[in-house]
Each structure stands twice: as C-alpha cells, then as structure tokens.
Amino acid sequence: MDIEKLLTPNRITFELKGRTKEEAIEELIEILYKDRVIEDKQEFKSAVMKREKEFSTGIGYGVGIPHGKSKAVKEAAIALGISKSGIEFDSMDGEPVDLLFLIAVPDKSDDIHLKILSYISRRLMHEEVRDRLKEAKTYNQILEAFK
C-alpha cells in the first residue's frame, strides 16, 4: 500500500503541542492547509468536528483518527501528529491520545485513496503497529511501522 502518497514527510509533526482535542485537530489542519491540501480551514474543521460529535474517533490505545469528508479538501491526505504529553480526546477507553491521524477526504474521492485509508485503519488496530509508531523518530520508521 502506498501510504507515502497520502502521508508525506511534511505532513508529520513529532511534537504536537495542543492539549485539547480541538487544539490538536486545528494544528493538524494547519499542516494540511500549508501543504495546499485544504482550501478552507473552517469548512473542513466543521466537517471533522461534526463527525467527532457523532462519537469520538478516539478509538482507544492512545490513538485518535479524526476525519472529514468535505469539498474544501482538494485531494485525499493524512496528517500525523505525535504528542509527548497526550491529548484529552474523550476516547472510548478514557485514556489520552498520543497518536493523532487527521484524515482529509474530498467529496469525490477515488477508490485507491479510500483503500489506503482503510488499510491504515486496519493496521492501527494492531498493537505492534501502534507501539512502533509511538517510538518512531523518523519518517521512514513511520512507514516501516505500517508494513
């Protein structure tokens, strides 16, 4: 799976600063905005927060995968933030989140991108994948973790 197409090096931060759900999500949106993936920050954020209200995308084990489908997104993309201090995310298991994946999907997306996203989602369910991601220091280590 070509994860590197969606998760490029400049869409990753190893030092996510935000402490709350909203702050952290905004930080990752900013990354995608600077990368010219998102045209309208506000519009995309409201899509993500709306999805978050249905039920938290904090799936437990310190992982959160907020995501939004919106016409403000030009192409499918993922931003990854690793937090040292943990984010209060209202997770299913109540634990703070330290791995935060923000998934942006345009209104009309092709299947290849959606397949990559479904692959990433599946991989995140595995403990060894999560552990390797949390320890990753470089972009290559992150890609390796998904293999």
Partner 1 sequence: MKLLAVTSCPTGIAHTYMAAEALQMAAEELGVQIKVETYGSIGVENEITEDDIKEAHAVIIAADTKIDKEKFEGLPIVEGSVQEAIKNPKKLIQEAMKLEKREQPIEKISKKDEKKVQGKKGPYQHLMTGVSYMIPFVVAGGILIAISFAFGIHAAENEGTLPWALNLIGGGSAFALMIPVLSGFIAYSIADRPGLVPGMIGGMLSSQIGAGFIGGIIAGFLAGYTIVLLKKWIKLPKTMEGLMPVLILPLLSSLIVGLLMIYVIGTPAAAMNTGISNWLDNLQEGSAIILGLVIGLMMAFDMGGPINKAAYTFGVGTIAAGQSSSVMAAVMAAGMTPPLGIGIATLLYKNKFTKEEKEAGKAALVLGLSFITEGAIPFAAADPIRVIPSLMVGSGVAGALTMLFKVKLAVPHGGIFVLPIPNAVEGALLYAVAILVGAIVTAFMLGNLKKPIESKDMH
Residues near partner 1 (CB under 8 A) are: 51, 54-55, 57, 59-60, 65, 67, 69, 92-93, 103, 105, 109, 111, 114-115, 117-126
Is residue 67 part of the annotated active site? The answer reads yes
Paired with 37 in beta bridges are none
Q: Distance of CA 7 to CAs 1, 96, 103, 142, Å?
A: 12, 23, 10, 10
Phi, psi (rounded to 5 degrees) for 146: -80, -15
Task: Give CA–CA dist 51/78, Å, rounded.
Answer: 16
Least distance between partner 1 and beta carbon 67 (Å): 5
Task: Give CA–CA dist 112/2, Å, rounded.
Answer: 9
Least distance between partner 1 and beta carbon 61 (Å): 10
Q: Which of 67, 69, 113, 130 is catalytic?
A: 67
Least distance between partner 1 and beta carbon 46 (Å): 14
Cβ atoms < 10 Å from Cβ of 122: 11
Are the CB atoms for 21 and 87 separated by under 8 Å?
yes
Least distance between partner 1 and beta carbon 137 (Å): 25
Question: Annotated catalytic sites, by residue?
Answer: 67
